[in-house]
Structure 1
Amino acid sequence: MSLAAPDLRTPASDPFPTADDLIGRISKYHPRVNEELIRSAYAFAEDAHAPQKRHSGEPYFAHVASVAMILADLKMDSATICTGLLHDTVEDTPATLDDLATHFSPEISSLVDGVTKLGQMELSSTRTRQAENFQKLIVAISSDVRVLIVKLADRLHNMRTLHHVPKPDKRERVATETLEIYAPLARRIGINRICVELEDLSFQYVNPAAFESVAKRLGEMRDANAGEVAEVSHVLTEKLDKAGIEGRVFGREKRPYSIWRKLDRKNITFDEIADIYAFRLIIDDNNVDECYRALGVIHQNWRCVPERFRDFISTPKPNNYRSLHTTIVGPDSVRLEIQIRTEDMDAVAESGVAAHWRYKGQDYGYDADAAKSAGGDPLERLRPFVEILEQGGDPDEFLEHAKLEMFADQVYCFTPKGELIALPNGATPLDFAYAVHTELGHTTIGAKINGRDRPLRTRLRNGDVVHILKGGLRQPPAGWEELAITGKARAAIRRLIRTTEKAEFEGIGKMLAEHAFEREGKIFKEKGLEDALARLELADVDALYQALGRGRITSGEFLDAVFPGRRDSRQYAAGEKELIRDEKARLYVRGRGLTPGVSIHFAECCSPLPGDRIVGVMVPDKGVTIHTIDCGVLTDHDESDLDRWIDLGWTAEAEENAVSTARVHAVMHNTPGTLADIARAVGENRGNIGNLSTLKRSKDFFEMQFDIEVFDNRHLSNIISALKMCSGVVSAERVRGGSGDDN
């Protein structure tokens, strides 16, 4: 038995398909095909592209005819195949969309329009332009997946002929784009036969040395193991016949790119890959029970590898892939994977969403009901991209999140009600919450996994039952985004942060505007600011507050716009500084809707604690950075710029209930038990050591730094006093000063 992989490839030297070739291929699955429509589209495209040539010297029409044949191999409907023939006419010829609508149909014109809008993706060398076009791709395919299928067929033929492109840098760029965007999208909707070929073709250009190395090893293994593989094939067929199981058996060899990806991801050697060789057993008559019976026959005759068994029939992959996978140990300890599936399952495994085009009554088209009955609509796999798009953000951010969605193996978890949620490997309960519903993610405060409380950073495993604990606030804690790995979750968290940040900067801006008016001895009113907004070139009052809050305009510039010709504030800088220091603090570090880590930040150089006298420095586009009043870093800021300085205070709640982190520097004797004494002293005084590091170590002394969670500066003073009482401690003091990062 030969080992082979399914391939749609047509040798480049073959003549391109004629209209009769194309119609003959379509007629095999669509006997009532409208031949006149196909011939008309074929002739229209051939005439429109007549003067054009490809890099290979072939007529350009050879490309669109080959794309149409690939679509016919996927058993697509007539409108999609006509789109394959016509997809470049609007972009590369004088033909217009109106011409296509008149000659053919509005449906075909609309599909060609969708593909045409995406045609510039591979012509752009900038990441931002690529990201913008990828957004267009998601919008187009979310309304009609046939746009994506045509684009995949188009890209497949371009990759088959990429060797004719003369510029190596362009070949590598197109291959990289194919590997990063088109191949994952093909896998996303289950069209495996296109996905694996795109991956291998791209691999040759993106990493030619690795491709050659893997291909060489594959050839060596194929020669060395041909006898063992043939023996298993013969015995397998014989045993299945004896059991009365009807089906066909054929072998396949793992693809070079798939091997390389596994070597890279799992950090294993070539010889450790268990599924380089595989047999596929396709059961006749779509009898699912026979799949499990065949599995029993196989396990009775060969020793199986327990950790390599997967049942994707009872738990299909998100793209509807269904099959039984088992790995056996064959002759001479050669590991062989066996995949068992029905004919329908095999069609979905190879063609994905394209396998669901069929007759419904008199019409041939996509059968959503059949897709759902087969395990779920694979088009749902595109929904996360639409949801990421809806979260907003710039195109580069969208592309980053979309790639997170595309490049990941799967882990399958369940809600408490038994609903299956598919996530990437490494996903956390926070990813799970956002996969269920965005609002659930926003209000997540904890999670139970298999009935036990677990941290939100816990990595989920196959079969976990996840119960998300909800709170009432929609407020992202600092560092929350780092707890999620899926593009959907990260996009939603970033949007929530942007929304929260916007509201908080507007609050800061309004406070600064009111404060500026008070310094001028005037009463602040929003009404009457129209002229000032025009002078500042701002759209509305909210934009004004944003600009003030983010430090893009100063209070002085704001007052100059409101009161043109007012006295130069620099003449009164000293007096105004004294005034702002004497006033009651207008802004509080905690409370009043401000979120540390979003619009208000504690300086690491002095680590302010409740009870410390504090001052804020406005940093453009970052917010307010809070320092203790005696922090050495404050000397780096211009005190004459009063608009950047904000007097601050602590709320009573902050002083009573806040938990903050303080840093302590200690020198101690290098004797057994000293560190235990320090930990005991901190704990007895209701502190908690969050982190410790050794700065210096000698034979006699240790010099260490501790991050300790405390309530306020008095609490810290008590802890430091307790540390100094430890027999092994030479000195202990709070860390202050240093250089900040807020400039």
Structure 2
Amino acid sequence: MNALQSLDAFNAQLRGYLTPEQSNHVIRAYYFAEQAHFGQLRRSGEPYVSHPLAVASILADMHMDHQSLMAAMLHDVIEDTGIPKAAISEQFGTAVADLVDGVSKLTQMEFESLEEKQAENFQKMAMAMARDIRVILVKLADRLHNMRTLGVLQSSKARRIARETLEIYAPIAMRLGMNSVRMEFEDLGFTALHPMRASRIEAARKNARGRRKELVDKIRQQIEATLEREGHQAEVIGREKHLYSIYRKMKSKRKSFSEIMDIYAFRIIVDSVDTCYRVLGCIHSLYKPVPGEFKDYIAIPKANGYQSLHTVLMGMHGVPIEIQIRTREMEEMANNGIAAHWLYKSESQSANGSHQRAREWVAGLLEMQQRAGNSLEFIESVKIDLFPDEIYVFTPKGRIFELPRGATPVDFAYAVHTDVGNSCVACRINRRLAPLSEPLQSGQTVEILTAPGASPNPSWFNYAVTAKARTNIRHFLKNQTRDDSIGLGRRLLDRALASLDSSLDSIPVDELQEYLREHEYERLEDMLEDIARGNLLPAIIAQALLGVVDPEKTDAEHAQPVAIRGTEGIMLTYAKCCHPIPGDPIEGYLSSEKGVVVHREQCRNLNEIRDNTDRLVALRWDDRVEGDFGVQLRIEVENRRGMIAVIATRINAMGVNIEKISTEDKDYQFTYVDIEILVHNRVHLAHIMKRLRGINHVRRVTRFKAG
């Protein structure tokens, strides 16, 4: 089809749903783009303007508004032709210029790695979506046409674009409810990445289609006859699984092609919600429903606005039949999502359900972006958010929250509000107290108990699954860790200065600022944090600040040991070889990878590094030390059935967490039970050991020797 025929066909599309004035605006944008891109060709050899025309045509199929179509026509003008945003604004208005600018800002930039580039682009996409959600719809249409014409690119570039499409753009389309776009992304991406697998599955699907036709027709006729008898007007369509869906199910469920294709799927489209439920009753009377396989997404829509009734039936000859029942409006929403019946509304007007959900999701993205440390951390969070397998839980007042499968009360607490998550201390599931790590199930009622002054626990990170919860926990701990590590760095430097009869406060401010400038530190806190990380040696810094040339003049032995509180986070590491706990005499070693590594004084590993005195740090436990510390015990028990269960029960009854447990046979009569538990200090440990020694058939309880 030549350019003129393409434009005529596009014009016919526009006249189908836009006013003549709106259509004229879009065509004027086409001629502007044609002139701006004059002389530019695509890799296929076609005039460049064929691409924006195709992108606009994809959006016209979704019945997008005329401003989105104009932006689609002009989306490469700023980037590729040097025409400024102001010129577009003057010609087509501020709204269109802002859309074009938003899409242009999503173009490539140079980064150190492909992952970073992908992550950075997605961050920019989140910002652009926040300003106007239509930006992402234009970008999705742009990517869809690029995927359709992927064959002209080098295979390595085509594979990279296909992978990015499967990882980022297909899930976004799904999140926005645009199922048709999502399925085309997946099939095109799969074909580009795995051409042999795709061709084999396609050939098998065509073959199966011929064999199945008779049975599919028979089931459809039975359904249609039943509905007609009951007086229901309905359209019954046989659904066929798309390529990528078949491949993913074969891979994840380890099933053969024939097992997946043995399921027959139909969609029933009716005129009203009431009829959906009546038709469900008819279908269940025709075939036997499979227990536990009914899902009501009409009463509780998915996060992307998707609504439908899903049920699985056992048909004739034991054939499983999947049925989806929905209204025509729901069908439109399922295929085009946020783009369905598009009516753009400004901030002041109330958005429709799908638009509102999309805005809430984008607002969540922005919150994650502000709290993420870098673009890679942000995209890791977003990928978690883009692949949900939903469950639905309730607040005590009946409010519904959608969470990904595997979510815990911690995720629920952050879904309610960030402050609720940060101050969460316990929870009730269906009115009973439950651990914060317990995975939630659909239909449960969850109540979060909070306490003033409470804060996130680092262990939550092990079982929080939602992006919002993980981002907020990480953000809180990072801030807390920075404050604590600055304090630790200050104490380490003060100790080094004290050995030279000085202190940080006694150093003139201008001299300190000069030193920071010379070593490219904006603030003193940055240098102190580097000391705590082990990147700088406090003794060397102290000598440099005081201008000490002869290191022999230092008197480190008489300097006060540095106090540690146990809250220093990642800047303080407790050695696994000797498991120091509060009450143990301790010494530290400055590691450039782990910050200050704390050992027990008599640890053999510490003896091996005593020659490197610059990196040794005298430590003591602060009086206000807090937290739980790992310690290893060896329990010698008689070989009797159930002894491990008895020991674990006794430890659990004392409210102590077991981190690891293992056994080793000593001889035919006795067994060693090696156990790692969390304790507060040596007194707490002594109390636990005393209780364990009181168990029948326990012969000896000892703490593992240091090193």
Q: Is TM more than 0.5 here?
A: yes
Does residue 1:734 correspond to 2:706, yes or no?
Answer: no
1:10-32 Cα offsets, whole Å, 9 max, x none, are xxx78686333222212212234
TM-score by length of structure 1 reads 0.86
Distance 1:533 1:105, change over 3 A: same
Partner SS state of residue 280, structure 1: strand
Does residue 1:214 correspond to 2:201, yes or no?
Answer: yes
Which residue of 631, 634, 640 corresponds with 1:662?
A: 631
Amino acid at match of 2:558: L
2:467 corresponds to which residue? Answer: 487
Which residue of 306, 315, 340 corresponds with 2:300?
A: 315
1:741 corresponds to which residue? Answer: none
List aligned pairs for 1:32-111, cutoff 5 A: 32-111=20-99
CA distance in 1: counterparts of 2:653 and 2:405, whole angstroms: 42
1:616-639 Cα offsets, whole Å, 9 max, x none, are 333346443221110112124345
TM-score by length of structure 2 reads 0.91
CA distance in 2: counterparts of 1:420 and 1:275, whole angstroms: 35
Displacement of 1:711 in angstroms is: 5.7
Distance 1:64 1:566, change over 3 A: same
List aligned pairs for 1:372-521, cutoff 5 A: 372=353, 377-473=357-453, 475-521=455-501
Which residue of 9, 16, 26 corresponds with 2:14?
A: 26
1:579 corresponds to which residue? Answer: 558
Amino acid at match of 2:62: L
CA distance in 1: counterparts of 2:274 and 2:655, whole angstroms: 63
Displacement of 1:694 in angstroms is: 2.3
Displacement of 1:484 in angstroms is: 0.9
1:181-206 Cα offsets, whole Å, 9 max, x none, are 11111111111110111011111122
2:548 corresponds to which residue? Answer: 566
Q: Is the 8 A contact 1:191 1:352 kept in 2?
A: yes
Q: Is the 8 A contact 1:358 1:367 kept in 2?
A: no
List aligned pairs for 1:192-211, cutoff 5 A: 192-211=179-198
Distance 1:675 1:336, change over 3 A: closer
Displacement of 1:260 in angstroms is: 2.5
Displacement of 1:603 in angstroms is: 1.6
Partner SS state of residue 56, structure 1: coil
Displacement of 1:668 in angstroms is: 5.7
Partner SS state of residue 223, structure 2: helix
Q: Is the 8 A contact 1:26 1:33 kept in 2?
A: no
Q: Is the 8 A contact 1:228 1:331 kept in 2?
A: no
Partner SS state of residue 307, structure 1: coil
CA distance in 1: counterparts of 2:216 and 2:476, whole angstroms: 55
1:634 corresponds to which residue? Answer: 606
Which residue of 576, 579, 587 corresponds with 1:615?
A: 587
CA distance in 2: counterparts of 1:679 and 1:88, whole angstroms: 65
List aligned pairs for 1:286-365, cutoff 5 A: 287-358=272-343
Displacement of 1:701 in angstroms is: 5.3
Partner SS state of residue 352, structure 2: helix
Displacement of 1:366 in angstroms is: 10
Does residue 1:549 correspond to 2:537, yes or no?
Answer: no
Does residue 1:240 correspond to 2:248, yes or no?
Answer: no
Structure 1 regions of 5+ residues with no counterpart?
A: 1-12, 739-743
Displacement of 1:151 in angstroms is: 0.6
Amino acid at match of 1:600: L
Distance 1:82 1:124, change over 3 A: farther
Displacement of 1:726 in angstroms is: 8.7
Q: Is the 8 A contact 2:638 2:698 kept in 1?
A: yes
Q: CA RMSD in A?
A: 3.3
Distance 1:726 1:68, change over 3 A: closer
Displacement of 1:123 in angstroms is: 11
1:79-102 Cα offsets, whole Å, 9 max, x none, are 110111111122222433233222
What is the aligned length?
A: 704
Does residue 1:132 correspond to 2:120, yes or no?
Answer: yes
Distance 1:205 1:93, change over 3 A: same
Distance 1:652 1:499, change over 3 A: closer
Structure 2 regions of 5+ residues with no counterpart?
A: none
1:178 corresponds to which residue? Answer: 165
CA distance in 2: counterparts of 1:14 and 1:237, whole angstroms: 44
2:511 corresponds to which residue? Answer: 531
Displacement of 1:643 in angstroms is: 6.0
Displacement of 1:149 in angstroms is: 0.4
Partner SS state of residue 365, structure 2: helix
Partner SS state of residue 316, structure 1: coil
1:540 corresponds to which residue? Answer: 523
1:625 corresponds to which residue? Answer: 597
Q: Is the 8 A contact 1:23 1:38 kept in 2?
A: no
Q: Is the 8 A contact 1:368 1:377 kept in 2?
A: no
Partner SS state of residue 469, structure 1: strand
Distance 1:392 1:653, change over 3 A: closer
Amino acid at match of 1:76: M
1:28-54 Cα offsets, whole Å, 9 max, x none, are 122344233222111122223232222
CA distance in 2: counterparts of 1:508 and 1:712, whole angstroms: 21
Displacement of 1:718 in angstroms is: 7.5
Q: Is the 8 A contact 1:275 1:327 kept in 2?
A: no
